[in-house]
């Protein structure tokens, strides 16, 4: 696992990691609150041998869910509140988004949320096999230029380790407003060991709208909601 992490091509599926200058309150959230929510043992600095995480450190004993790129955290917080029995890990490399989520958590704390403020590949390297029961990838960076399509999340570089971390039957939800991203998703995710379950223009029953969805609708783009299920059977 360590050799794989060292030799993989470093093509990020996300763009910038810093946005507007953080407000003093946001800097305070990062300094004071992030240590409470941050999932430890993910980075190479903390875990140089890339030992698998012990997920029993997460509060509770329920199923583990993952949101890849939670933006400002609207959907992640909604799911954590609607499903208090689950343990929800959110990954987000964009510092401003992490600060926004922490601000919301300060207003309404949740015990079933853990945060990795960085590249999801580092987390996938150390997640135990077949530990995830549900994964969300919502409005990822579309990388619209053809020469950048290999930077999309829905490529083997990301999907193969994600598939290893998903339990048989795990649900993988993807939302995008870019038709070509949906096309590539249908091709690549199925090859990675997930079977398509549904594809449509209506969101899931427990969905909450996000700023990215609202922007897509304002600009006349139609969102596509895709659901996949990890193939295989429990042993």
Residues 19/95, Cβ–Cβ less than 8 Å = yes
Q: Tell me, yes or no, if 125 is annotated catalytic.
A: no
Q: Which of 141, 177, 180, 206 is catalytic?
A: 141
Q: What's the rounded Cα separation, in Å, for the pair 228 and 9?
A: 26
- Dihedral angle sign, alpha carbons of residues 75, 78, 81, 84: negative
Which active-site residues does the annotation give? 141
């Amino acid at each position: 696992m360590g050799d794989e992490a060292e030799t993989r091509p470093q093509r990020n599926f996300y763009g910038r990691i810093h946005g507007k200058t953080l407000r003093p309150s946001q800097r305070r959230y990062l300094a004071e609150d992030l240590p409470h929510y941050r999932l430890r043992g993910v980075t190479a600095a903390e875990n140089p041998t890339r030992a698998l995480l012990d997920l029993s450190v997460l509060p509770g004993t329920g199923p583990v869910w993952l949101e890849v790129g939670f933006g400002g955290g609207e959907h992640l917080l909604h799911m954590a509140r609607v499903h208090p029995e689950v343990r929800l890990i959110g990954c987000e490399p964009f510092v401003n988004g992490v600060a926004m989520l922490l601000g919301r958590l300060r207003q309404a704390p949740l015990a079933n949320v853990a945060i990795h403020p960085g590249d999801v590949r580092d987390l996938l390297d150390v997640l135990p096999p077949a530990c995830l029961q549900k994964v969300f990838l919502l409005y990822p960076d579309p990388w619209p230029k053809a020469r950048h399509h290999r930077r999309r999340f829905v490529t083997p570089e990301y999907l193969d380790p994600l598939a290893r971390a998903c339990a048989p039957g795990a649900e993988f939800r993807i939302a995008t407003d870019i038709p070509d991203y949906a096309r590539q998703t249908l091709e690549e995710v199925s090859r990675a060991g997930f079977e398509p379950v549904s594809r449509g223009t209506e969101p899931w029953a427990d969905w909450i709208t996000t700023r990215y969805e609202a922007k897509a609708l304002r600009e006349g783009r139609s969102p596509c909601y895709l659901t996949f299920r990890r193939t295989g059977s429990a042993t």
